[in-house]
Amino acid sequence: MHALSHGTTSTPTTIAVPPSLSLPVIEAAFPRQLHPYWPKCQEKTRAWLLEKRLMPAEKVEEYADGLCYTDLMAGYYIGASDEVMQAIADYSAWFFVWDDRHDRDIVHGRPLAWRTLRDRLHTALDSPGEHLHHEDPLVAGFADSVLRLYGFLPQTWNLRFARHFHAVIEAYDREFHNRTHGIVPTVEEYLRLRRLTFAHWIWTDLLEPTAGCELPDAVRKHPAYRRAALLSQEFAAWYNDLCSLPKEIAGDEVHNLGISLITHEGLTLEEAVGEVRRRVEECITEFLDVEQEALRFADDLADGTVRGKELSAAVRLCLGDMRNWFSSVYWFHHESGRYMVDSWDDRSTPPYVNNEAAGEK
């Protein structure tokens, strides 16, 4: 299936989506949008990666734009101010670089390097201002991006974000253990862990600075709002698993919904692909239903008070951006060089990564 996509140029390009991965409902019912600040955002994130030494200069030059990290965020947080959009885009780029370091530490058997990084990130999360000049660029870049994110909403939001990201770091540690020891988690174990390694609640938290409003617990925990948020993230995580299943099986991976289904439920590869796809499609269908319920909730919040009007508008914006996540994730997987494994010289080594651990040569 073909569809027009923004890509990384100002001219839309035609992207061919393999039939096994095409989702006509996304292409028909989830129109793609892109934040108008995106071209400047892409330029500034590229400069930020260089300034913070998060990728070697030659890697930034050759691969940064094609990885589409800013495209993914600019297609999601449409309602953000330019400043918030930039902070989120830089943080997201950092997250991908961190994910690559984690992967390389596993592949090259560097448990000490990983544990050191894990502990440093926990510390930097609670006191980012003290880690802006850390010797490890990944820690310094993290501190810089988190400190900027902490500047948009009250301390209560910052503490929640930190709590959620401490859990993400620990989940990455559990994944390190599983992959190092060849442990394939059961389906239920995997689903719980995936919500953390994919950082479901982090990306949901960031909807609030995008809307310029911290949502009270009663709003965030409303069943329709929370379900819509979860479904948008589950779709993204499981669609990622669907797209990456063949290469992860080839690479003896253990963390993929399809691999858990094959290992613990006795499914064939073909059956596992079908089951992951079914779950992906269910997320879309259920989201379309719960979205309507959540919009009615937003209407109910507008109770004639100034605060009610503010909350109603913020919830509507957050729901709109949850909807944007579906199309942004979908196209990202077919545009980003991160998933073009067949074009790599070595299928086990992404060409855009730095294989050295901090301090290792």
Would you say 156 and 210 are in contact if contact means Cβ atoms under 8 Å apart? no
53, 136, 151, 352 from 57: Cα distances, Å:
8, 17, 29, 11
Hunting for tokens 């809307």 — which residue is that? Answer: 211
How far is residue 177's CA from residue 111's CA, in Å, rounded to a whole number? 9
The two tokens of residue 263 are 């290992």
Identify the residue whose tokens are 């990728």: 55
Task: Please name the residue that has the structure tokens 């174990």.
Answer: 189
Which residue of the set 96, 118, 174, 277 is catalytic? 96
d(CA 250, CA 244): 10
Q: Are 63 and 352 in contact (CB under 8 A)?
A: yes
Q: How far is CA 277 from CA 18, 236, 244, 257, 280, in A?
A: 13, 12, 12, 11, 5
Token couple for 129: 């201002």
Would residue 198 show up in a list of annotated catalytic residues for this protein?
yes
Distance of CA 144 to the CA centre of its chain: 19
**Beta-strand (E) ranges in the chain?**
2-5, 13-16
**Beta bridge mates, 350:** none
Distance CA 326, CA 76 (A): 8
Give CA–CA dist 343/67, Å, rounded.
13
Helical pair 155-181 and 137-149, crossing angle rounded to 10 deg: 150
Contact 43, 72 (CB under 8 A): no
The one catalytic residue in 30, 32, 46, 95 is 95
Among the options 30, 152, 165, 198, which is catalytic?
198
Reduced to 3 states (helix: H, G, I; strand: E, B; else coil), residue 69 is helix
Residue 338 is a catalytic residue: yes
Q: Which residues are catalytic?
A: 95-96, 198, 338
